[in-house]
A and B are shown apart, each in its own frame.
Chain A
Amino acid sequence: MTNALEVSDLHVTLAGSHVLQGISLNVPVGGVTALLGRNGVGKTTTLRALLGLVASTGAISVLGTDVRGWATHRIVRLGVGYVPEDRDVFAGLTVAENLRLAERIEAPRYDDVYAIFPELRERSGQRAGTMSGGQQQMVSIARALLNGWPLLLIDEPSKGLAPRLVGELADALARVATLATVLLVEQNLALVRRLAQRIIVLDHGEVVHTGDAQELDDPDLAKRFLGVSGVK
């Protein structure tokens, strides 16, 4: 298996809007591939479609298995961790309960989790809803890491975080990327530039560019596809 993810002609229609219009992309095993694009081009919808959280048509292969028509929990159990855009921690549950809920293997890898996020060990009895945005992000990433899944889908992890926390998050994600293949949706291009080896750019529900992450240094590309003046 050379690709952790293979997607062909993926279409999604939400509330009458044709959000994804035939996306085809591959995510090779290992490293970080960033899925980029302006707001509303379908990045989050792509991740949700890969997990079966929204109805789609087209071919999706996850870790070498054709998952068309599969329920979300079956796709996840192939070995996919998911960190959603808004963290989606269970606010009424404690940190320990959030993590316990994510356990899918006999010996969950709490050592890996606590090595990256030692703070979570101290806060295990705290309700997740009372934590800061950065702490909730730790819980969300920790849930995805706990089973040592080979593929992680991470959606805008820096969203809403203070700049200081983004730096800490980048360090944590760099360590996460040594443990699994990562498909990363992110608006913070500096973070992408630091973490990713490959980029896939979406626009108007289609893949418009695929290439090396170093291309983000090219101000023309950044401006043309992403509407920004390049990575600072």
Chain B
Amino acid sequence: MNVFLALTFSGIALGAIYFLAASGLSLIYGLMDILNFAHGLFMTLGAYVAWDVASHLPTSWGAPLLFSIAVVASIIGGALAAGLTEVLLIRPLYGRPVSQILVTIGLDLAVVGLLLGGFGSNSLSIPVPLWLIEASRVGGLDLPNSNFVALVAGVVILVALELFLHRTRYGITIRAGVENRDMVSALGINVGRAFTLVFVIGGAMAGLAGLLYAVVFSGDLISPTQGDSLLIFAFIVVVIGGLGSIRGSAVAALVVGLVQDYTNFYLGSHSGMAEIGNLSVVLLLALVLEWRPRGLFGSTL
């Protein structure tokens, strides 16, 4: 029972990171009809910016402060990368979806190649406070503190996104744009600004996801291809949750994280197939698409 509860907690933490990775992707597709294959790059860049900033600051500042700065840097790094991508590469290609897909794939390949060239394929280590790699005893279970951080980050971002989408004018514009972009323009609203904003928000969350994934599940190590690995699961979460639906992404991320964790432990240890959790997620995707082709939450926010 204790193992099951520990796995559940770990699966929820994984789901929280999938949610951070997927929610921006979902908003971008919902509003702009863009399959953004550069989203994994925003995760990677967020982690690298965090590492770069933290490694250039004096270690005398202490690991807790350095890590806090790294978190902020990952968010800013992801947001900047996404904003520049939208303005410089996506905007000139509005109305040309195939070109947009190709340019995001090309950008991802090019920058990942640059990172490999600049930093090498060896993983880099993010400085983290000691308590982050320790565990806390809760109800007789030793639960990793890093999982708590991921969980809190996921919940905070979900609540913040919901408040933003439902309480602010920009949020209402984005929800309306997901339904009918032309009509938003016909009300005198510059939809282009909403596009950029959605990219920036999505990039910020992706940057944070990139850093947290490294801290929680990669032993504090970052690598140039980590974002691309995470992107596959982000796409699966978006499709299962329903394109353009934040709540759908939250639920789907949770389900995917749990299924992956349970399957890896219960089936992986018996079958000897280390990656059976990944297979289970793909099967889950197929089942959901068979049952509800538009995903769990359709296309509403």
Residues of A within 8 A of B (CB): 51, 53, 71-73, 76-77, 82, 84, 88, 90-93, 97-98, 100-102, 104, 143, 147
Given A100-B169, A101-B172, A101-B173, answer yes or no on A91-B188 (Cβ-Cβ < 8 Å).
no
Residues of B within 8 A of A (CB): 169, 172-173, 175-176, 179-180, 182-192, 300-301
Neighbouring B residues of A102 by C-beta, 8 Å: 187-188
Please pick, from B169, B172, B190, the residue contacting A73 in the complex, using a CB distance under 8 A: B190
Please pick, from A71, A90, A93, the residue contacting B185 in the complex, using a CB distance under 8 A: A71
Given A73-B191, A100-B169, answer yes or no on A90-B175 (Cβ-Cβ < 8 Å).
yes
Nearest CB on A from B180, distance (A): 6
In the complex, are the beta carbons of B188 and A90 less than 8 A apart?
no
Please pick, from B175, B187, B300, the residue contacting A76 in the complex, using a CB distance under 8 A: B187
In the complex, are the beta carbons of A73 and B188 less than 8 A apart?
yes
In the complex, are the beta carbons of A88 and B185 less than 8 A apart?
no
Neighbouring A residues of B183 by C-beta, 8 Å: 84, 88, 90
In the complex, are the beta carbons of A101 and B179 less than 8 A apart?
no
In the complex, are the beta carbons of A101 and B182 less than 8 A apart?
no
Nearest CB on A from B272, distance (A): 47
Given A100-B169, A101-B173, answer yes or no on A73-B180 (Cβ-Cβ < 8 Å).
no
In the complex, are the beta carbons of B189 and A73 less than 8 A apart?
yes
Neighbouring B residues of A92 by C-beta, 8 Å: 175, 179, 300-301
Neighbouring B residues of A77 by C-beta, 8 Å: 188
Neighbouring B residues of A143 by C-beta, 8 Å: 187
Give the complex CA separation of A85 and B188 in angstroms: 18
Given A92-B300, A92-B301, A100-B169, answer yes or no on A82-B186 (Cβ-Cβ < 8 Å).
yes
Pull 12 A–B residue pairs with CB atoms less than 8 Å apart, ordered by A.
A73-B185, A73-B187, A73-B190, A76-B185, A76-B188, A84-B183, A84-B186, A90-B179, A92-B300, A93-B175, A97-B176, A98-B176
Contacts A72-B182, A73-B189, A91-B300 known; list 17 others, CB within 8 Å. A53-B182, A53-B185, A72-B185, A72-B186, A73-B190, A76-B185, A76-B187, A88-B180, A90-B175, A90-B176, A91-B179, A92-B175, A93-B176, A97-B172, A101-B169, A101-B172, A104-B187
- The list of the 6 closest CB pairs from A to B, nearest first, reads A76-B188, A72-B185, A88-B183, A90-B176, A82-B186, A92-B300
Neighbouring A residues of B185 by C-beta, 8 Å: 53, 71-73, 76
Least CB separation from B177: chain A residue: A90
Give the complex CA separation of A72 and B189 in angstroms: 8
Neighbouring A residues of B188 by C-beta, 8 Å: 73, 76-77, 102, 104, 147
Given A92-B179, A92-B300, A92-B301, answer yes or no on A76-B172 (Cβ-Cβ < 8 Å).
no
Neighbouring B residues of A91 by C-beta, 8 Å: 179, 300
Nearest CB on A from B33, distance (A): 16
Neighbouring A residues of B189 by C-beta, 8 Å: 73, 101
Give the complex CA separation of A93 and B180 in angstroms: 12
Nearest CB on B from A46, distance (A): 15
In the complex, are the beta carbons of B175 and A51 less than 8 A apart?
no
In the complex, are the beta carbons of A101 and B184 less than 8 A apart?
yes
Least CB separation from B182: chain A residue: A53
Neighbouring B residues of A98 by C-beta, 8 Å: 176
Least CB separation from B298: chain A residue: A92
Neighbouring A residues of B169 by C-beta, 8 Å: 100-101
Which of B172, B188, B191 has the most CB atoms of chain A within a 10 A radius of its CB?
A: B188
Neighbouring B residues of A84 by C-beta, 8 Å: 183, 186
Give the complex CA separation of A147 and B189 in angstroms: 13
In the complex, are the beta carbons of A71 and B176 less than 8 A apart?
no
Least CB separation from A82: chain B residue: B186
Given A73-B191, A88-B180, answer yes or no on A93-B186 (Cβ-Cβ < 8 Å).
no
Give the complex CA separation of A144 and B129 in angstroms: 56
Give the complex CA separation of A97 and B170 in angstroms: 11
Nearest CB on B from A169, distance (A): 20
Neighbouring B residues of A104 by C-beta, 8 Å: 187-188
Nearest CB on A from B287, distance (A): 27
Which of A72, A77, A143 has the most CB atoms of chain B within a 10 A radius of its CB?
A: A72
Given A73-B191, A92-B179, A92-B300, answer yes or no on A53-B186 (Cβ-Cβ < 8 Å).
yes
Give the complex CA separation of A36 and B183 in angstroms: 23
Nearest CB on B from A60, distance (A): 15
Neighbouring A residues of B172 by C-beta, 8 Å: 93, 97, 100-101
Given A100-B169, A101-B172, answer yes or no on A76-B186 (Cβ-Cβ < 8 Å).
yes
